[in-house]
Structure 1
């Protein structure tokens, strides 16, 4: 458990906000050719830290480590494209939503067997290990965000291939459908980024489910959660989030 009020006090006294996220989830977070972490989530976190009057430091462990909670003070905040689920809500708190983008099914551009989500039955489908996409394929996903629509599962049993990084999953899918993988499930914006960059993939589904993405913090610190919520809502109100979204994505997904 976090200590009531202590996270904000710790951040303020240290003069540093410790952010945790992935380093291979473009355009939200990725490493550029200068070996710098850049992206939508990075810029949101920078603006957040600036409003607290502190510097930003970033750590990028495996997603399973982030989503498992029990951070024990290692990190202060996850502005990291996380969807609240029943399992995650047991170990993390979610003070505020900051954007929403749908989950979609991606296949190799030459794929002809899979024309929609029903066609993945009996196939091998990749997802980020520990992500909502993995739970969706296992037909166990329950989104706990307020007013969230629960996903349906219009497919039979699949072989779920969890990957530590989506970059490797897309590399394997790029070898051709049916070789190592048949498909990948991911965020629409991330999928479009990889399609535009390589020309090797295509989306073959409508929205599988709405994926509300919330800021996550260590469980149990109401004062820190309130500060996070107020700061993000102020960034929404003054257009900061909208401007960052348009810079990285071309449209505003933060409404």
Structure 2
């Protein structure tokens, strides 16, 4: 939200926030209901067929969260477990072991993604927060773990959720701004706003590797 506010300040208009479901955002069928998506979207080649990505502004760290009473100590302890995550995300692809580094600008010689566990069941949700709501009910009550980004998890912990990070991030991916295809002028203005560090001071975030 801070990044979106900084971009709006740079461009001039007042920002307004809406919260549609993630699968609606990634579908690209926005019907002029909003102009820009700021959900740390990964600019995959499939999504690039429906959306434009003016700029990547951070790197999302995807991590496994477990209940504080969980006996799991490493990702492999999640083999055969019930995993919650947001539908239509790279976390879902990772859990299904179909995730590849196919985002726009990915290096062809990058190390392949290592799948560190095989879920017994995958439960999908509209948002990470709803998945974490189920996880905080207790270890194994509805879920054994949630795949989410580290920033979201740490916000939940600060809010009092009885959950914890299982280990180091499973992988990290670029987070990009998404807009409808076809408006080059708008795309260029957003890219300019991101590059202007003096005005877009909100790009400082301790939970992300910020793109400079």
Band the TM-score falls in, shorter-chain normalisation: 0.7 to 0.9
For normalisation by structure 1, the TM-score amounts to: 0.74
- Output aligned runs, 1:72-221, within 5 Å: 72-112=31-71, 114-143=72-101, 144-147=103-106, 149=110, 150-198=112-160, 200-221=162-183
Instruction: Give the superposition deviation at 1:85.
Output: 2.1
Q: Is the 8 A contact 2:60 2:208 kept in 1?
A: no
- State yes or no: 1:58 paired with 2:17: yes
1:99–1:48 CA distance, 2 compared to 1 (3 A): same
Shift of 1:147: 3.5
Pair 1:209–1:239, CA change in 2 (3 A): farther
Structure showing greater relative contact order (alpha-carbon pairs closer than 8 Å, 6 or more residues apart): 2
Aligned to 1:19: none
The reply on whether 1:240 has 2:197 as its aligned counterpart is no
**Structure 1, gaps ≥5 residues long:** 1-41
Encode CA deviations 1:60-97: one digit per residue, 9 max, x unaligned: 11111011113233321112211122332221111211
Q: Structure 2: how far apart are the matches of 1:56 and 1:196?
A: 26
CA displacement 1:128-177 (0-9 Å, x = unmatched): 12222112111122341423655221222431110113222112111212
Measured in 1, the distance between the counterparts of 2:159 and 2:33 equals: 34
Q: The residue matched to 1:58 in structure 2 has which SS?
A: coil
TM-score, normalised by the number of residues in structure 2: 0.87
Deviations 1:13-33 (A, max 9, x none): xxxxxxxxxxxxxxxxxxxxx
SS of equivalent residue, structure 2 residue 65: strand
- State the alpha-carbon separation in 2 of the partners of residues 156 and 250 from structure 1: 27
Contact 1:44 1:244 in 2 (8 A): yes
Q: Kindly indicate whether the alpha-carbon contact (under 8 Å) linking 1:245 and 1:252 is maintained by their aligned counterparts in 2.
A: no
**Residue 4 of structure 2 is aligned to residue 45 of structure 1:** yes
- Bigger share in helix: 1
Q: How many pairs does the alignment contain? A: 208
Superposed CA RMSD in Å reads: 2.2
Q: Hey, what's the Cα distance between the residues in 1 that align with 2:120 and 2:51? A: 29
* Cα distance in 2 between the residues matched to 1:220 and 1:91: 10
For 1:102, what is the secondary structure of its paired residue? strand
Asked whether the equivalents of residues 121 and 158 of structure 1 are also in contact (C-alpha less than 8 Å), the reply is yes
For residues 86 and 121 of structure 1, the distance between their equivalents in structure 2, rounded to whole angstroms, comes to 30
